[in-house]
Structure 1
């Protein structure tokens, strides 16, 4: 392969999917995952650069693994579930209710509304609406149908 790295990366966009999968088998020595084309392109691009220029330093890998373990104890399934359940810390959820705009901030321990900490969005929704609500539905993070 005499192609330059930038040319190989650019060619990924126009390479047919079967050829991307063949490149995957060559570069990763495994079967390609059943993910979409964009995923294959991005992982192949990373791998091409990794092989040409070198990967992450071992100390960086160890640090990332430590951070991951601190977050979820190394349980990747647990991290995916948690990521799907709670918005990122610092996210501001805005809801207008009866002409008044309410802003809730996601914190590490839960949520903050009107300067007070809350453990659940449902408690905040109840405070705003005066009746019981599913907090995730109230703030539009989950549809009524899936609630």
Structure 2
């Protein structure tokens, strides 16, 4: 039985999309979803194994449903990365330079370093080093 299941799953990628959709109809008792071949193959592989060896236990289903319900009620915080690839306002960037720790705070309209406001991370990096730096590389990591 195991070898039959494995053979059926292994044969899925060789089937045409129409054959996969027909298999979906037969195995899942519903029309195939309008997704790509990869989705159909993965779904059919799961269904073939589920029919052969059984699906999820009731305990596992209950745990997954509880986790999904909890996920829906969780507080969602905004992504801490802005569209320009910089951290959101309020983030404190810390960098060690020549044995001294320096910190720069991200503002809505610039950056603050040692109480001074800068328009760019590069300007704040120059205040630290005295030389021109790519600000993202200096404050967010990488090498010059």
Relative to the length of structure 2, the TM-score reads 0.54
Write the distance in 1 (CA, Å) between the matches of 2:78 and 2:35.
24
Cα distance in 2 for partners of 1:10, 1:86 equals: 42
Partner deviation per Cα, 1:111-147 (whole Å, 9 max, x = no partner): 95438xxxxxxx666454747xxxxxxx9xxxxxxxx
- How far apart, in 1, do the equivalents of 2:38 and 2:91 lie? 37
Question: What stretches of structure 1 move > 2 A for 4+ residues in a row?
Answer: 111-115, 123-131
Q: Judging changes above 3 Å, is the alpha-carbon distance between structure 1 residues 16 and 67 closer, same or farther for their aligned structure 2 residues? A: same
Tell me the CA shift for residue 71 of structure 1. 1.1
Q: Please identify the structure whose Cα radius of gyration is greater.
A: 2
Aligned position for 1:36 = 36
Q: Is the 8 A contact 1:103 1:113 kept in 2?
A: no
- The CA distance in 2 between the partners of 1:37 and 1:112, in whole Å, is 43
**TM-score normalised by structure 1 residue count:** 0.53
Matched residues, number? 99
Relative to 1, partners in 2 of residues 1:113 and 1:67: Cα closer, same or farther, differing over 3 Å?
A: farther
Shift of 1:22: 0.5
Structure 1 gap segments, 5+ residues each? 74-81, 96-101, 105-110, 116-122, 132-138, 140-147
Query: Which runs of no fewer than 5 residues in structure 2 stay unpaired?
Result: 95-105, 112-117, 121-135, 137-144
